[in-house]
Amino acid sequence: MQPIAFWKMNGSGNDFILIDNRDGKIAEKDMKHLAERSCRRRESIGADGIIFIINSDRYDFAWRFFNADGSEAEMCGNGGRCVARFANLNGLAGKRMTFETLAGPISAEVTDRIVKVLMPVPSGLKTDIEISFKPGWLSVDFINTGVPHVVVQVEDLRNHPVFEQGRAIRYHSMFSPAGTNADFIKVKGPDSIELRTYERGVEDETLACGTGAIASALIANIRGIVSSPVRVATKGGEELKI
């Protein structure tokens, strides 16, 4: 294989490999395999996901987004911020742009070092879902913000078993066959929450999750425990405003 130029970018702790594939040098059939190989930490470049930028007939550009396990995702919030920054820096688009995803067209705006992304309209809201969970039952909320998310409010977020419980929720039969991401939140103040996320496709806790931050902020606001706009503190240290 010929050498492939790439960028490594980070959004709130989520890190991504970005490849400008508008010339089609990487065939569609090879994208999944390249994602699996390139995203392995300690063995390769290492990342939460890989973004292939491709041509679009209707918008500034399009993308194909693959998780670290090679699965393709409809949307990724922090990935969207990174690709918008990349597009602006490399002349693919101006400060305002629209790009095509499996979740639909996404608009973004780049202002200095701030990147704003207008996400898809949320869908599938379900509250107070009771799921079987050892040693009993767990009450959760669900919403799709481009990808599916379960949100759970906890008291001790720092010591919560995010990996173990997140993995159990991700593979729970209630959300099969596609599975779901799992977000654990704690209220910090009248308009702020803390968030930890187990990400489907990465199959581990990540330092941040844009779609998870949106899901968590929406659920917290719907439940009346925080006011809007909501400030979301991520494990990576950055605060997102939703």
Give the end of a domain, one of 118, 135, 161: 118
- Spatial contact of 157 and 165, defined as CB atoms under 8 Å apart: no
Instruction: Tell me the CATH number at 73.
Output: 3.10.310.10
Domain co-membership, 109 together with 128: no
| Predicted structure pTM score | 0.90
Those residues of the chain that have pLDDT short of 70 are 1
Specify whether 94 is located in the same domain as 154: no
Closest listed residue to residue 181, CA positions, set 146, 217, 212: 212
- Domain, as residue range, for 49: 7-118
Calpha distance 186→216 (Å, rounded): 10
39 has catalytic annotation: no
Nearby residues of 97 by Cβ (< 8 Å), 6 or more positions away: 59, 60, 61, 84, 87, 88, 107, 108, 109, 110
> Where are the alpha helices (H) located in the chain, listed in sequence order?
28-38, 77-89, 162-170, 210-222
Q: Which of 17, 34, 209, 217 is catalytic?
A: 209
Which of 76, 110, 208, 213 is flagged as catalytic?
76
| pLDDT computed for residue 1 by the predictor | 61
Q: Do 110 and 44 reside in the same domain of the chain?
A: yes
Is 209 labeled as catalytic in the residue annotation?
yes
Which of 93, 118, 143 is the last residue before a domain boundary?
118
